[in-house]
Structure 1
Amino acid sequence: MPEILLLTDASLPQRQGRFDVTVEDGVVRSILPAGDAPALTRAEIRDLSGRFLIPGLWDNHVHFSQWTIQRQRLDLSSTGSAAEVLQLVRSALTAPDAGGSAPSAPAPLVGYGFRDGLWPDEPSVAELDATSGGHPVVLISGDLHCGWLNTAASQLLQAQPDDSGLVREGAWFPAMERLQDSTVLTTADYRAAAEAAARRGVVGVVEFENTDNITAWPQRVAEGVDQLRVEVSVWPDKLQDALARGATSGDPLDPSGLVTMGPLKVIVDGSLNTRTAWCWDPYPGMDPAHPHACGMEAVPISELESYMRAARDGGLAAAIHAIGDRANTAVLDTFESLGMAGVIEHAQLLRESDIPRFAQLGLTASVQPEHAMDDRDVADRFWEGRTDRAFALKTLEESGAQLRLGSDAPVAPLDPWGSLTAAVTRSRDGRESWHPEQRISAASALAASTRGRVEVEAGDVADLAVVDADPLDPALLTDGGAQLRTMPVAATLVGGRFTFDAL
C-alpha cells in the first residue's frame, strides 16, 4: 500500500463540484476542490472520473460460514410448495454428476432456502424418503430456524423430527452445527465470499456464526481473507471461554486490527416463517391451549439475564435476537433491569408502548429490511392486524432509536444495497410498497449501513466505496429502486487499501 493515495476528480453525495481526496496511513487527510491538492511526489494517483466517493458499507448481521456454504447448496428459494421442493431434490439426485460409484457413506444432499409458511401442502418424511431413497437429504429453511430431513439424514445428524421430517429451533440448531462441522470450507472459499462482498462496497461485517469466531477469524485473516473488517460474536456455550481470554468488546484480535471483539449473541425466540417467534397473541389457527400457540421462548429469560450479566461484567456488549413482540418486551425489560446498553437483533414485531424504549435505554435496533420483503405475505397471514407495527423502521427512527441495517446472510444476500433499497422503498420485484408509512429516507438508510456516516470527511478512517451514482439522488427511486439496488461499485478500500479495484 502506498504511503499516500490521491483520489482525484471525486464527486461527493449532495455536494456541488469535484474534489481531490488525500489518504495517508489509512486515514482521509484532506478533501479539497479538484486541482487544489498539492503536488505529492510519493503518492499513487487514481482518477475517479466523477464517480461518487462514499463511506464504506457494513452488513451488521451475517452468518459468514453459512453464507459461504450456501454457494454449494441446492437452491430452494424459488419453491412454493413441498411438492416443488421434492421435485428439485429428485432432479438433483438423478443428475449425471450426482451418481457414479456411490461411496458407502454418501455425502448429504443439502438444500437451502425453503419457506413453508404459506405452502398449500404439508412436508412429509415418508415422501422425502420415497424421493431420496437412502441418500441423506438435509433441507434448510430460508430463515435457518428449521430443517426438513429424511430418515438417513436424521440418523446422520442425530436429530429426531416428527412425521413431517421437520426439526425446529433448539432441536435443530445442534443438527445444523453437526452438518456445518462436516462441511469442508477452504481459505479460498472464504476469500471468494469476502471478495464478493468487497465488490459490493462492503468494508465490514458483524459475524454471528455459532462457532469459535475468536480463533477462526484471525486465522483466516492471516491466511489472506483480509478484504473485510469483522466484529465477532460469542454465543452462550462459548461465553465462559471468551471471558477467560479477557477480550472485551472493541478489542483488536489480530495484528492487522481487522478483527475485533464484538458482542454476546443470544437467541430468545424463533422466527415468523416457522411460527415460533414469541408473540403476545396466538398464531391464527393455533389452539390457544397449545404450549407454543404464541411461538416459543427459546432461552428462558432468567437464563438470558444470567448470560447478559456475565457479559456485562466481563466487558462484553450484548446483541439479542428477538422477533416477536413478546420476545422484544422481555429483552427490553432485561436490558433495563441490568442497566446495560446493546443491540436488539431483528426487532420485527413491536408493541407500540415498547418502541420508545429503544432510545430511552440507549439500545440499537439492528434490522434486516429485506426480511420485510421476503416475509410480507406470511406476515399478513400470521400477524394479521398487527403489521402496522412490523418492521417499523420509520417509527423506530422517529422515536430516537439508532438503526443498523444488515442481511442476516444467508437469509438475505450479503449485499447492503438490497437492504438499503428495501428500507427506502418497502418494495421489491415490482410490487406495491408494503406499509409505505414505514419507509425511511435514503440518507437514513445509508447512515444505518455505514456506521452513521453519510459523507466522507477529513479525519475518517479510509474505509471507502467508489460508486457510479449519488445514492441520495431521488432519481434512483423512480423505477421502484432497481437502480439503487443494483448500484455499480467501482472500488472499495479498507484502511486506504484497495480490496476491490475496477477503476
Structure 2
Amino acid sequence: MRALVNGVIYVSFNPVKRVSGLVIANDRVVFAGEGEVARKIAEMADGEVVDLKGKFVMPAFFDSHLHLDELGMSLEMVDLRGVKSIEELVNKLRSSKAKIIFGFGWDQDELGRWPTRDDLDGIDRPVFIYRKCFHVAVANSKMLELLNLKPSEDFDESTGLIKEKALEEARKVINEKVLSVDDYAHYILRAQDHLLNLGVHSVDFMSVNEKALKALFELERERKLRLNVFAYLNPELLDKLESLGLGKFEGRRLVIAGVKLFTDGSLGARTALLSEPYSDDPSTSGQLVADKNYLVSVIERAKSLGLDVAIHAIGDKALDVALDAFEETEFAGRIEHASVVRDDQLERIKDLGIRLSVQPHFIISDWWVVERVGEERAKWVYRFKTLSKYAELGFSTDAPIEPADPWLTVDAAVNRGKSKVKLYELTKGEALSMDEALHFYTYGSASVSLARDIGKLEPGFKAEYIVLDRDPLKLAFS
C-alpha cells in the first residue's frame, strides 16, 4: 500500500476535482481525499508514505490512436520532418548506416515537389520513405525489386510513388521479408520507453498485424508490458480469431479490443474523400479505400466476436460511408480522425452513439489545410469544441505521424496554432480550455476505448498517474 500526501492531486478534470491525499493498493486507487487520512490509512497498513513536497499529480495520459510498432521503428528511421529540399532529403538518407534505409516525415509541400525513385537511386541500398501522413511512400529501384508490386492506380512504377492499397501490399511484403516477431517486440519496447517518459501510460495500438500481435502476447506473457495496450487488429486477423473461437482478450496489460478499418486516405496526400473536389486541385475529391458493403461485413464479424470497431474517416464523404455502415449494422463504433465534419453529420454522430478519436496536432502539421479545402469548408475542420457536444471525444497523436509528446497536443487543442496557421482565425471558437483538453486526453480517451477504469484517480480506478512540478491547469505555452 502507498499513500501520496502533501501535494495537489487532480482526481479528474470533468468535473475538476482536487484532493490532498491518495492511497493505492494492488495498483488501484482505494482512497482519494484528505492527506492526513491517506497518511493514517497507509501507516495502519504498514505501507509507504510518499511526500509530494507540494508537487502536482494528475491521471496519466491515454493516447487513443497510435502505432506502437511504427513509432518504435521511427525512432530508428531517418527523420525527414522539416526537410526543405530534395538534396537535403537525399543527403540525410545517405548518411544512414542501415542495410535497408527507412525514413519518414517528408512533406511535398515543404520540399517543393514529390520525391521520386530517381532521386533516391543515387543511394546504393534499398530505400523506403514515408510521407508524414504514412499514407504515401516512395521507394528507390533496389527497394522496388524487393517489393515486387503489381501495377495499379496506387503504384506509379515510374516515380516509385506508392499509396493507399498498394502501400498496404508493400507493408505486407516488408512484414514478411524484412521484419521478424523479435523485431516487432523490439520496436514496441522502444516505443513503450519513449511514451512512458512522456507521461503516456495507456494507448490504443492501431492496425496491429499478425507479427505485432504475436510480439504483444510474448511481451504480455513475459510481463514486459508496462503500458496498458488496447490492440485494434487488421481485419485479416479475423479469420484466425474465428477459427480459434477467440474474441476479446483481457490480460494484465494487454487487451485485444477491436478491429481497425479504413475508408479513405489523408488530406496531405489529397486521398481523404471529400464530398466536393479539393479547392487546390479540382481534379480530385479523394479516394474511397473500402466501400460500405465491405465495412458492414467486417463489422458484423467483429460484433460476433465481441470486438469494437474503429473506422478511419478523414474526409466528410468518407465519414458518410462509415456512418452508413454503423447505422446498417446497428453498431455504436468509433471514428478515427473525423477531420472534416459537416453540420448535418453532427446529429447523426450523436444519434448513432459514435465515439471519436481526434488528433489536435494535425492543426499545426496541416498548416496548408485552408488552401486544401477552401475557407468555406475550413469551418468544418478539426472542430473539437463542437464535436465534444455530440460525442465522447478522445485525444491522440497518431504517432509517429505526429510527435508523441502529449503537451504538444494539449497546446494545439487549447491554442489551435494561434499566430502560426491560417486555420486559427477561421476556427478560433473551436479552441478548448485546459481542463477540457486534459479531460479528453485522460478519461475521454479511456471512454472512447471502452476502458472505464482508467483516466481518473477515483477509488476503483487503475492508479495510472504522473507527477508534475507545475499546476497542469495553469501551464502557459509559448
Q: TM-score, normalised by structure 1?
A: 0.83
Alignment deviations for residues 370-427 of structure 1 (CA, whole Å, 9 cap, x no partner): 11210122x12211121110111111113x2110111111101223222222111112
- CA deviation map 1:176-196 (0-9, x unaligned): 233345146275553342122
Match of 1:441 in 2: 433
Matched, 1:396 2:396: no
For residue 2 of structure 2, what is the amino acid of its counterpart? L
Structure-2 separation of matches of 1:346 and 1:216: 27
Partner of 2:225: 226
Q: 1:284 to 1:48 in 2, by over 3 A?
A: same
- 8 Å CA contact 2:263, 2:288 repeated in 1: yes
Cα offset, 1:224, TM superposition: 4.4
Residues 200-279 of structure 1 aligned to structure 2 (within 5 Å): 200-212=198-210, 213-249=212-248, 251-252=249-250, 254=251, 257-279=252-274
Q: How does 1:355-370 map to 2 (within 5 A)?
A: 355-370=346-361
Q: Which residue of 2 aligns with 1:412?
A: 402
Provide the residue aligned with 1:26 in structure 2. 27
Whether 2:112 is the aligned partner of 1:120: answer yes
- The 1:396–1:32 alpha-carbon spacing in structure 2 relative to 1, beyond 3 Å, is closer
Amino acid at match of 2:107: R
Helix, strand or coil at the partner of 1:12: strand
Q: Which residues of structure 1 form unaligned runs of 5+?
A: 99-105, 483-503
Counterpart residue number, 1:498: none
1:8 is paired with a residue whose SS is: strand
Pair 1:112–1:180, CA change in 2 (3 A): farther
Q: CA deviation at 1:162?
A: 3.2
Look up the SS of the partner of 1:177 in the other structure. Answer: helix
Gaps of 5+ in 2: 150-154, 445-453
Give me the whole-angstrom Cα distance separating, in 2, the residues matched to 1:174 and 1:265: 16
Which residue number in structure 2 is paired with residue 471 of structure 1? 472
What code does the residue aligned with 1:234 have?
Answer: L
Q: What secondary structure does 1:221 align onto?
A: helix
Aligned counterpart in structure 1 of residue 70 of structure 2, from 58, 66, 74: 66
User: Is the Cα contact below 8 Å between 2:62 and 2:455 reproduced in 1?
Assistant: no
Q: Which residue of 2 aligns with 1:10?
A: 7
Contact between 2:232 and 2:259, CA under 8 Å: does it hold in 1? yes
Of 357, 364, 381, the residue aligned with 2:371 is 381
Closer/same/farther in 2, CA of residues 111 and 315 from structure 1, 3 Å limit:
same
- Relative to structure 1, is the Cα distance of residues 382 and 32 closer, same or farther in structure 2, using a 3 angstrom cutoff? closer
Report Cα offsets for 1:342-384 as digits up to 9, x if no partner: 110011111210022222111111101111210122x122111
* Deviation for aligned residue 1:304: 1.1
CA distance in structure 2 between the partners assigned to 1:342 and 1:124 by the alignment: 39
* Structure 2: distance between partners of 1:295 and 1:65: 27
What is residue 55 of structure 1 aligned with on the other side? 59
Q: Residues 262-302 of structure 1, C-alpha deviation per residue, up to 9 Å, x if partnerless?
A: 111101111111110011111245464xxxx2111111221
**Aligned partner of residue 383 in structure 1, secondary structure:** helix
Structure 2 letter corresponding to 1:240: D
Q: Using the alignment, how far apart are the partners of 2:87 and 2:163 within structure 1?
A: 20
Contact 1:203–1:228 (Cα < 8 Å) also in 2: yes
Whose helix proportion is higher, 1 or 2? Answer: 2
Q: Which amino acid aligns with 2:441?
A: S
Alignment map for 1:296-375 (pairs within 5 Å): 296-375=287-366
2: CA distance, partners of 1:430 / 1:287: 26
Contact map agreement 2:55 2:467 (CA 8 A) in 1? yes
Q: Hey, what's the Cα distance between the residues in 1 that align with 2:184 and 2:326?
A: 39
User: Structure 1 residues 21, 286: closer, same or farther in 2, change over 3 A?
Assistant: closer
Deviation (angstroms), 1:210: 3.4
What one-letter code is carried by the residue in structure 1 that aligns with 2:337? H
Per the alignment, residue 152 of structure 2 pairs with none
SS class of match (1:209): strand
Kept in 1, the 8 Å contact 2:280–2:372? The answer is no
Deviation at residue 455 of structure 1 after TM alignment: 5.4
Q: 1:16 to 1:172 in 2, by over 3 A?
A: closer
Q: What's the TM-score, normalizing by structure 2?
A: 0.87
Identity among equivalent positions (%) equals: 26
In 2, the alpha carbon distance for the partners of 1:189 and 1:115 equals 24
Q: How many angstroms does 1:18 deviate by?
A: 6.5
Q: In structure 2, what residue type is equivalent to 1:233?
A: Y
Distance 1:333 1:117, change over 3 A: farther
- Where 2:128 maps in the other structure, the secondary structure is strand
Q: Which range moved further: 213-222 or 321-330?
A: 213-222
Deviation at 1:117, TM superposition (A): 4.2
Counterpart contact for 2:280–2:371, Cα < 8 Å: no
| Alpha-carbon contact 1:115-1:141 (below 8 Å) kept | yes
Q: Is the 8 A contact 2:268 2:366 kept in 1?
A: yes
Contact 1:10 1:21 in 2 (8 A): no
1:42 aligns with 2:34: no
Q: Deviations over 1:56-110 (max 9, x none)?
A: 21111111110001111111001134343233334x26xxxx4xxxxxxx82221
SS of 2:319's equivalent in the other structure is helix
1:140 and 1:44, CA in 2 relative to 1: closer, same or farther beyond 3 A? same
